[in-house]
Amino acid sequence: MVKYVNETFSKTKLDLFELNTSLEIIDLLNYYKLDYNKPPDKIFSLLYANQNNDGGWNAALEGPSDEQGTYLALKFLEHFNKDVRKSKILKEMLEDHQGIDGGYSKIIQKEFSIESTNMVKQISDYYGYKTKNEKETKDLLKLIIRKINWDILDGKTIAHIIETLKTYNIKIPEEAIESIQNKYKDLIKNKNYEHALYVSYVMKLINVGIPKLKINIQDNLNNLNFKDHLFLLGTLSISQRISQKDIKIFGEKFQKDIKNNLNDPYIMWILTIISQNGNYVDININDHLNRSIESIKNNKETFHLRDFYYVLKTYQLLNKR
């Protein structure tokens, strides 16, 4: 046992599982009053060097933080009365992952996401909250758009980037606007109506003309399922190229699907876009929206960021009517 501990502490590369095994052996050695080599400074330097920006550790000492690695590293440092660096950041990270029941979700190192950044910023602005490190975020976004090859991105990704730039009051490059218009044409041609919906939404958001393309809704009616038909009508509603007749046909054919999907905030948002042209089916979106908001307030359901974002977007649309 002594040999294992001594050999572990002499290694130049190891993981936290090995350190934890050594720690368990040390407890036995201490009990029987046996001598062993104390961990050299290089072991603690290794731990500090591999502490992630969120304050946690990966069990393999390489990669994003996980709960097991963080626990083992803290246990080892505490045993030898060593300081826990980045403790304030670690505390904030742990609080972020605490659920409403007091428990914790898996600890993961936060990665930059344009879509999530945009959603959090819009929600924060609506409620009057100030987001952290806003200047750094804007600088990063400006760097990203200087490096982007707009031609290789899909339409929805371009739309998310453009919406984020607008949210942060960053000038949208001309090549991005040209690219999103071209992507819209490709999406309609390939009948990718879900992406076309979001792309058209963002084009309207930044006051860019949506290309007028020939789309025969009647030809699509019998060939599209509920969601694809919903995405198509949402796309046409944004460009104001939809008739009451089209909405009525959709409402009658998919009335059951509509009612079964009203608990999905994303679907509710699209239905609200379409319903701005009139009540096409006997539902009250306001009632469903209010129930969703109450669920969020009372923590009756676990809402993901994306769900919260679309609840807010629906609420804003309804208040504009």
Report, as ranges of residue numbers, the positions in the chain whose pLDDT lies below 50: 109, 279-282, 300, 321
Q: Report how far residue 16's alpha carbon sits from residue 58's, in angstroms, rounded to the nearest whole number.
A: 8
The pLDDT of residue 106 is 59
**Which are the contacts of 89, defined by CB distance < 8 A and separation ≥ 6?**
53, 54, 55
Contact between 66 and 60 under an 8 Å Cβ cutoff? The reply is no
- Which 3 state secondary structure label does DSSP give 213? coil
In degrees to the nearest 10, what's the CA dihedral of 48, 50, 56, 58?
-140
Q: Report how far residue 178's alpha carbon sits from residue 270's, in angstroms, rounded to the nearest whole number.
A: 25
pTM score over 0.75: no
**Helix axes 67-79 and 41-49, enclosed angle (nearest 10):** 150
Burial annotation 59-80 (CB, 10 A radius, 16+ → b, else e): bebeebbbbbbbbbbbebbeee
The pLDDT of residue 281 is 45
The pLDDT of residue 154 is 83
